[in-house]
Amino acid sequence: MNLFKASNQWSTRPDDERFDSLQSLHDACCGYRASAGQAVIPFNSLRTEASDGEVMLVGKANTPARLTHWAFGQLATAIAAPGAYLRTLPATLAAQNLNHGLAKATDRSDRQVLFHQNGSLLTRAITSNHYTRIWNNDITSRLFNFQDAGWAVPPARPVREGQAGSRIATDADVLTGAKHGLSVKVGDAIAPAGLYASDHDLFAFMVNDGVWISEPGNSDGLARGFFISNSETGAASFVVTRFLYRTVCGNHIVWGAKQVSEFRLRHIGSADDRAFRELSGTITQYANESASDDEAKIARAYTHRLGVDKDTMLDSLFGQKALGLTRTTLASAHQACIELEPNLDPLSAWGMAQGLTRISQDATYGEDRVALDRAAGKVMALAF
């Protein structure tokens, strides 16, 4: 199975959202937070006005603030208006439509507003009062622990000619385990990638190719990697994706991914505490596990059969209520295993776990992906 999340980031991010080091990413996120302010504003006091061709948000203090593209969309969503259409209107007409919607909106609960104080005010986010903000710089500060332990951002080729920050890769840039022909080599052109931040989101991609894990039937072995993504502005959940992989190519496609699991957290309640527990606990433990621990688990799951044939196995797993999966879903995972790796036993705990993580990548909703990833972990556990 191949993963394309990081490659999608590599191919679409503008230059000003790319960073060439964890320190520069952290500094940018700290800068965003240092200039940020938060306020809970009564919905009834919200209104907009047009100024110099822009729509401005005005609250109880009667101080106008510009709106980012994202915040404008959130405001439109709050009144069930089409943000894309409103952006095409002259500012005066757009403000009139927004004010009409604000006056007629049924949900009149208070709103959290995130804004920047940099001369004039800039509104970055308008969220519900139940929203719990996870600051990006609190995440990036914890990533230094991984960097100190030998984790690194894989090098990537420039996405376009003349990309800012492009240079020639040295020994220090190249992954020591780069064996695939598409991996970046010394002397190749590289450019900032793998670390991204904007006014509404964050994405980081790190691997540890200093520790290789043996897998039966795979002479190259597997290394560990993870993606972390977050939004301070309500654009997305806090998500950590862990995986084992065979290689990373120069456009950040992760090849031969195994044991893919996703931790997803909505920004409500104690989300910030839970996110940092995940970073400090589960991910740190994962990062520090010895190769022999993973090798023993894989070897045991590789040989542990869940049934004598397909039907017996499906009946057995369907009877495991803790998995929470239908027989149809289990059958799809069995078929995905066969298609993914024809030489892998689809009746083994390892094979079915790979099949489940494969179909999880096609799930439409995040909660469905998480449920399938957790089920894959429980199937692996049946071998122990």
Run of H or E residues at 128: strand 120-128
Mean pLDDT by 10 residues, the chain (384 residues): 88 94 96 90 91 91 89 93 95 96 88 86 91 91 90 92 93 73 82 92 92 78 92 89 88 86 80 70 68 78 91 92 91 90 87 87 75 86 84
**What is the distance between the alpha carbons of residues 243 and 34, in angstroms, rounded to a whole number?**
34
Residue 233, sorted as left (phi over 0), alpha (psi -120 to 50) or beta, turns out to be alpha
Q: Is the pTM of this model over 0.85?
A: no
Structure confidence at residue 277 (pLDDT)? 73
Tokens 């740190």 -> residue? 284
Nearest of 234, 32, 256 to residue 129 by alpha carbon: 234
Structure confidence at residue 352 (pLDDT)? 92
β-strand partners of 268: 131
Run of H or E residues at 262: strand 258-265
Structure confidence at residue 371 (pLDDT)? 83
DSSP conformation letters of 265-313 = E-SBTTHHHHHHHIIIIIIHHHHH--HHHHHHHHHHHHH-BS-SSHHHH
Structure confidence at residue 366 (pLDDT)? 66
On whether the CB atoms of residues 299 and 217 are closer than 8 A, the answer is no
In angstroms and rounded to an integer, the radius of gyration of the C-alpha atoms of the chain is 24
On whether the CB atoms of residues 352 and 337 are closer than 8 A, the answer is yes
Tokens describing residue 255: 């090849």
Tokens describing residue 194: 């793998």
Structure confidence at residue 297 (pLDDT)? 81
- On the CB side of 339, CA atoms within 13 Å amount to 11
